[in-house]
Amino acid sequence: MWFEKSSQEIIKEFNTDVVNGLSSEEALIRREKYGPNKLAEKKEQSILKLLFEQINDVLIYILLGAAVISALLKEISDAVIIVIIVVLNAIIGLIQESKAEKALEALKKLSFPKALVKRNGQIMEISSEDVVVGDIVILEAGKYIPCDLRLIETANLKIEESALTGESVPSQKYAENILKSENIALGDQRNMAFMSTMVTYGRGVGVAVAVGMDTEIGKIAKMLEENKKNSTPLQIKLAQLGKMLGFVVLIICLLMFVVAVIQKRDLFEMFLTAISLAVAAIPEGLPAMVTIVLAVGVQRMIKKNAIIRKLPAIETLGSVNIICSDKTGTLTQNKMTVTRFYADGVLNDISYLDMNNRVHSALVKDMVLCSDATYSEDSRTGDPTEIALLELGVKFNIYKDNENELHSRVDEIPFDSDRKLMTTLNKFGDKYNIITKGAVDNLIKICKSIYANGNMVPFTEELKSKVTAASDSMSNDALRVLGTAFRVVDSTEIEIDSMESDLTFVGLVGMIDPPRENVEKSIEECRKSGIRTVMITGDHKNTAFAIAKELGIAEDSSQVVSGYEFNKLSGSEIEDKIDNLRVFARVSPEHKVNIVRALKKRGNIVSMTGDGVNDAPSLKAADIGVAMGITGTDVAKGASDMILTDDNFSTIVEAVKEGRNIYNNIRKSIVFLLSCNIGEIIALFIGIVLGWPAVLRPIHLLWVNLITDSLPALALGVEPDDPDIMKEKPRDAKKGLFSGKSGVFLIGNGILIGVITLAAFYIGNTIYPNSLMHAQTMAFVVLSVSQLFYTLSIRHSEKSIFEIGIFTNKYLVGAIVLGIVMVNMVIMIPFLASVFKAFRLTLNDWLFVFLLSIIPFILNELGKLIYRKLEKK
């Protein structure tokens, strides 16, 4: 067992180097030998099984039964056509689902957790899939453990292992050896860290001893198999709609059959017609269409630096009306630069730092030593604030590696968001320095002396007010302010709890993180589209307000509140003020959750950004949790719905825009399909009630269903982005798919398509009273072609097709042309014409059916024109 061996034995056994790690060549050899560091995926289903799933439907079984009956009654052509159409529908569904699955698999790969390892003498971030046995892995708070590790170095390391051991409290970890015993449970192996658990506190270093299925979590994974498919709320709604529609259609089919019996029609013909209508009217293609449109949307969003982890997020994005954004790295560049300092009683520009002044020198050295970041010309790893401090040191020839050699770190208290402090214990000759850095207000409380004019003096209230004034001065200029203090002790025998006390205040540094390019423009775009931007930051109120004002988020200081002040507000006060607040400063993780809940309570749909371990609760609480892809911890990413690969606020706005367009496109496809289905039901049912011969043959219905349920609907689903989408207000999440104009539009067009199909049949039957086939063919062409032309007018609810451009959606134009060609093939090719019992239309017939077919398109375009004129008035 790995935990029984000493760290030296482990290092020797895996032939690794603690200082330099593995070489790239050795890592590649080991990856080929042991395979990728990931759990085995479930076996892919065979094509035949997937094909069977496509036809595993009661209505399809009834249709196949009808084909068998047709064959027995020697109606071979009907039987063959039914079977061909069923197979074609299944293949189209299979292709769509396959594309969606591939898109989602690509998405999973993109969201693979990262791991920090030593390779070629450098610390680098790699995909956890590429970790190999023998790798030296660096652990930090907020990171998932990429594989099973034998720890060789720890500093106050705690790991949350509930996913593996069931323990609710994080386990304290040590690098020390454990005495051999037969009864040591996983939870008691204190020198081990296991795959898929998470670091909650401190840091550590470990040697990878097991990867992939050889890990403890891998052993559990062998016993599990996940077959569940997740459906989005929209897909669930559509499934319910399909069931309801199916119930209605079956009743209509039953009524048709009863009427046929009363009218003494051909019962077999009516049986086939009823079944065909049921299959045609129920939009089985909807779930597959929604899946493929969502999957294509996910891929488009990946190209725009937004990874959607959960498909329902796409639907919710269109309703977002508040974006709560972290300041650092999202609204700003995350490239902190120290510009001012305060030391020895003087506030000045950083260029006036004098390394010959021992207070100035101590300020820079302490800031460099009390840091977990690493810095070199080739790489920078760690918090941007700490990297800025290391860059400050480099500017004055003070390098962290050199300082660490001279003043090695013996102990530390890691930074946490409640204390807002970090403390290290460093060796200085035969003594030790406690060095603390962090937020000024917290630091002042634990200091009893200060440097003034080169001398150490008591930290009086007057001197404290001077430090506070210097800090406020920098904060007013939108600078982030950090202070440092120290105390000399004789040995390392010091209680952790007493380290941060009786310190000597050294000085302050002020740094700025400039706004990102295009962020101001994105915030203005949000404002115009009814989306409020709210800044949530750990900075002081003055700093936060300065940046918010520059970006156009806030106009007045009354729109800024601290987390502490917000928590003191009563419920009624929050309700009164929340709509006016734009900046929440000095917030803790608990404040963030309360802010999100307060905004949601007002009926808002809230998006929330975060990157740290403690941001996970607020990301979960928000309607859309957005994690940072670059600076974000694995925990934050795991709790999020969306990950920004560039940590940029503008990407959130692009994602909202994309989400709105995707939802609109899905709605267009659904309205189109249901309108067509209503048209088919009306044409057949009214025709039978009026006592007419069958308006359409069963195979006509199935052919129309094949044409309109596949390519045109999908083409509408990938409609190009509407450039004016952000001029609209956010969609009300409580409203249904068919609220407002959509419901009227759907039913109105369904009736219109049904009526012109009936008109084509009636006029055809009147002109050619001795040729039922002639009239049925005219009805068949009008039903098919009118639906194809109708797709052009459904592309935008208000804009004319001539405004958006006929050829801007080339897929739709192709689908329309292909649909018309397929209808023509059925009529013009003698073999197909005999199978479909279609009549070869004359030139006058074609002119007539074309004029009828274009009516829905013309009326819809006229309706848009009238609507726009009325709206202007």
CA–CA separation, 6 and 21 (whole Å):
18
The amino acid occupying position 290 is: V
Q: Both tokens of residue 618?
A: 């607020």
Question: At 148, is the secondary structure helix, strand, or coil?
Answer: strand
CA–CA separation, 214 and 148 (whole Å):
9
* Whether the Cβ atoms of residue 445 and residue 461 lie closer than 8 Å to each other: no
Locus of tokens 């200082």: 19
CA–CA separation, 400 and 368 (whole Å):
6
How many whole angstroms from its chain centre is CA 629?
11
Of 130, 326, 539, 623, which is the active-site residue? 326
Q: Both tokens of residue 353?
A: 């730092």
Residue 760 burial (C-beta neighbours within 10 Å; 0-12, 13-18, 19+): buried
User: In 176-294, where do the E strands start and end?
Assistant: 192-193, 198-210
Question: At 69, is the secondary structure helix, strand, or coil?
Answer: helix
* Whether the Cβ atoms of residue 151 and residue 205 lie closer than 8 Å to each other: yes
Q: Minimal CA–CA distance to 733: which of 823, 628, 659? A: 659
Please say if 326 is a catalytic residue: yes
How many whole angstroms from its chain centre is CA 498?
44
Q: Maximum CA pair distance of the chain?
A: 116
Q: How many residues appear in the chain?
A: 873
Angle at 37 between CA 34 and CA 39, to 5 degrees: 110
Which helix H or strand E contains 532, and what residues bound it?
strand 532-536
What is the distance between the terminal CA atoms of the chain, rounded to a whole angstrom? 81
How many whole angstroms from its chain centre is CA 696?
46
Question: Concatenated DSSP letters for 827-863?
Answer: HHSHHHHHHHT-----HHHHHHHHHHHTHHHHHHHHH
Residues marked as catalytic: 326
